[in-house]
Structure 1
Amino acid sequence: MIYLASPYSHPDVAVRELRFRDACRAAAKLMRLGHAVFSPIAHGHCICTHGLPTDWRFWEPFDRHHLECCNEVVVLTLDGWEASAGVQAEIRIAIELGKPVRYLGPDWSPTLAHVAKEVGG
């Protein structure tokens, strides 16, 4: 299973919505290629509309469990990914767990998925 890490938290609701849509788009592309994908943003965005926090501190224990279960982590490099506390923590946890970490740009082509850059693992 691929754990699709991507930035989410932002004070602007419109930015969070765009990040959610981009994460869903990337997850769909990976799924079309036959990969099982868990995206904490695709999963959590709608749940957050029912009063849950959007910050990493709240979501860390849930996401850590999914990171333990995944085979690899793919980081969607949307604007803000390098400054995202959640994405950086997900990368650190993945490396600690010995999971490969790959990076995909937001406009990657599904046919180029196999050339994603691998680091850390």
Structure 2
Amino acid sequence: MRKIFLACPYSHADSEVVHERFLACNVVAATIIESGHCVFSQVSMSHPINLAFENRDSAVIGKLWGPVDAVFMEAMEELIILDLPGWDLSSGIKREIAFFEQKGRPVSLWSKVAAQFE
């Protein structure tokens, strides 16, 4: 069983884009689970909680998640990035890539590995 940290771009000025990213991440997480692997889907977990962080700037919210993400990144063996538009601009994804690469753990784009989960 693979232990996968699923990354996805999240923040955006348009709340509809944020919600669409959340939904897309859930579909990929479900696909990974259905294929018999373990996944921690950061956006799937954080989006509903972020809705409770009323009147907080997205940068402040991102800083709150940093230590939480670190716990889950340490537990997972590989990083898969849901490469939706904007993924390569995400500071969170850049941080996650750096973490996994520093540990010598695999980093992949979903578009390159999706067929492995069919």
* TM-score, length-scaled by structure 2: 0.86
Deviation at 1:58, TM superposition (A): 2.5
Identity of aligned residues (%): 32
Q: What is the CA-CA distance between 1:113 and the residue it aligns to?
A: 2.0
Residue 68 of structure 2 corresponds to 62
Corresponding residue for 1:90? 96
The answer for the alignment partner of 1:72 in structure 2 is: 78
Q: What is the alpha-carbon root mean square deviation over aligned residues?
A: 1.8
Q: Which moved more, 1:87-96 or 1:56-65?
A: 56-65
Task: List gaps (5 residues or longer) in structure 1.
Answer: 115-121
Give the one of 16, 20, 23 matched to 2:22: 20
With normalisation by structure 1, the TM-score equals 0.84
Query: Which range moves more in the overlay, 14-23 or 89-98?
Result: 89-98
How far apart are the structure 2 equivalents of 1:9 and 1:34? 29
Classify the secondary structure of the residue corresponding to 2:89: coil
What one-letter code is carried by the residue in structure 2 that aligns with 1:22? Answer: A
> CA deviation digits over 1:17-42, x for unaligned, max 9?
00000000000011110011000100
- Is residue 68–residue 97 contact of structure 1 (8 Å, CA) maintained in 2? no
Greater relative CO (CA pairs within 8 A, separation 6+): 2
Question: For the residues of structure 2 that align with 1:11 and 1:39, how far apart are their CA atoms?
Answer: 22
Structure 2 portions without partners, runs of 5+: none
Between the aligned partners of 2:30 and 2:107, the Cα distance in structure 1 is 19
